[in-house]
Structure 1
């Protein structure tokens, strides 16, 4: 309960801060929407030259992209730790974090939250509804519950990968370019993995499981029965990888040497 109360207190203070500079917040939201629109237009341009890609239609890939946006938005709102190395290790702010009687990762999540990123959830659902109407998808009464479960699993997958990368900083405090590279690799998860070769497909499934953020869970709603096993593995993969990332984080904290020379 203490953690829940802290979360809502931080969220309330964050919104007060952001609403002080409303124009800045609106510009940031519009910037995110423009970025998502560019990716959407890219898909349309690709299908301007073909009707199918490895057995997937334009509408199906648009649906996958829409699903991908939802867990990605949740990740972006609460795990904005792309600058963890520079801010908390190199500049020594981790010292401040470790003096407080709250789990260090939870504190960083609270400090770095960007709640405006949650607008991506609305965008993603809108894209899914658009593609679903073109595909004439039928939704069962339990599908909304399955959707929430798969979205949370996908968000945990994304979060776990970046927590693991951030944990590397405890052993190596030198600036690294791994985080931006991983953001780019994560974009592969919004396309069907069978359009890649077997090596990339294996990596995106079992090593860096970005495929469980977009294509695998979306395959359930698209009726791709041969991919159902992967779809229902999404929450399992999310929990397993996130538990492992927390374990590595906790081990890394014990290796932290503090700021200074």
Structure 2
């Protein structure tokens, strides 16, 4: 019943979002265009790097592009359904969390639904297209189970994003000034766009076991590659996703219990 209730809320919030964007259509397309330009800039950067070197470590241009294409898919889904960037300012500083807690729906679900951002989902389709082009350039075999594996990997990666950024948002319940952590985590996240093998041991450990952004890029993507296939780490993606997602939920629920109102 709880899941059905949340899904019904999602339909209502999405309908309201569509009504708003139909009124301000230019804003919608500007947002879509800005997201596409941002993705294009990152892709161009990869191409520029490979104009100066034939390989990055022992990774070819097509393999790095393949990893970047995968990276865009879970990130686009996460950005669509969990836009928590301004949580502290909007819900804690301005006191809107009080309104959220007076309603019967789950508090985290409400916050996520109020900030749904469908244009970000276009980035996932662009990433899928980039993966497809790189797949062809690499001459990778296509198996019947590959789409199913991709879905499982993407879900695991999305859970990692959700867990980490939910926990980060929940810090607002404990600290009056958590905003400085957000840009730091976002910058670390961007390392997940590239093969982790090109970094030193310290960064590899950080991106694998502390802030596991390697599981939103190279590790799950490696399942489909031939030269850099790492099936063990790839299959850890959904496991790590469940663990990190659970941690994020625990931190959130703990923070909500601590919250005493806008004045606290």
Q: Distance in 2 between matches of 1:19 and 1:40?
A: 31
Q: Counterparts of 2:23 and 2:209 in 1: how far apart (Å)?
A: 44
* 1:49 and 2:49 are equivalent in the alignment: no
How many equivalent pairs are there? 261
Give 1:240's aligned residue: 243
Selected match of 1:133 from 133, 136, 150: 136
Shift of 1:223: 2.5
CA contact (8 A) 1:90 1:174 kept: no
> Within 5 A, what are the aligned runs for 1:145-224?
145-224=148-227
3-state SS of paired residue (2:172): helix
Gap regions ≥5 residues in structure 1: none
What residue ranges of structure 2 are gaps of 5+ in the alignment? none
TM-score w.r.t. structure 1 length?
Answer: 0.97
Q: Secondary structure at the match of 1:183?
A: helix
**1:92-103 residue pairs with structure 2 within 5 A?**
92-103=95-106
Looking at structure 2, the residues matched to 48 and 225 of structure 1 have their Cα atoms a distance apart, in angstroms, of 22
- Establish whether residue 229 from structure 1 lines up as the match of residue 229 from structure 2: no
Deviations 1:70-116 (A, max 9, x none): 00000110111011111111111111111011111000000011011
* Inter-partner Cα distance in structure 1 for 2:52 and 2:160: 33
* Residue number in structure 1 paired with 2:43: 40
Give the one of 1, 25, 30 matched to 1:27.
Answer: 30
Which residue is 1:72 aligned to? Answer: 75
- Asked if 1 retains the 8 angstrom alpha-carbon contact of 2:171 and 2:178, the reply is no
Which whole-Å deviations, capped at 9, do the CAs of 1:11-48 have from their partners, x for residues lacking one? 12211211221111011101100010000000000000
Quick check: 2:46–2:65 contact (8 Å CA) kept in 1?
yes
1:81 aligns with 2:84: yes
Instruction: Give the TM-score normalised by the residue count of structure 2.
Output: 0.96
Instruction: Report the counterpart of residue 120 of structure 2 in structure 1.
Output: 117
- Cα displacement (A) at 1:218: 0.5
Secondary structure of 1:43's counterpart equals helix
Cα RMSD of the aligned pairs, angstroms, is 1.2
Query: Once structures 1 and 2 are overlaid, which stretch shifts more, 224-233 or 69-78?
Result: 224-233
Does the alignment pair 1:60 with 2:63? yes
> Does the aligned pair in 2 maintain the 1:75–1:155 contact within 8 Å?
yes
Cα deviation for residue 260 of structure 1 reads 2.6
Is the contact between residue 167 and residue 248 of structure 1 (CA under 8 Å) also seen in structure 2? Answer: yes
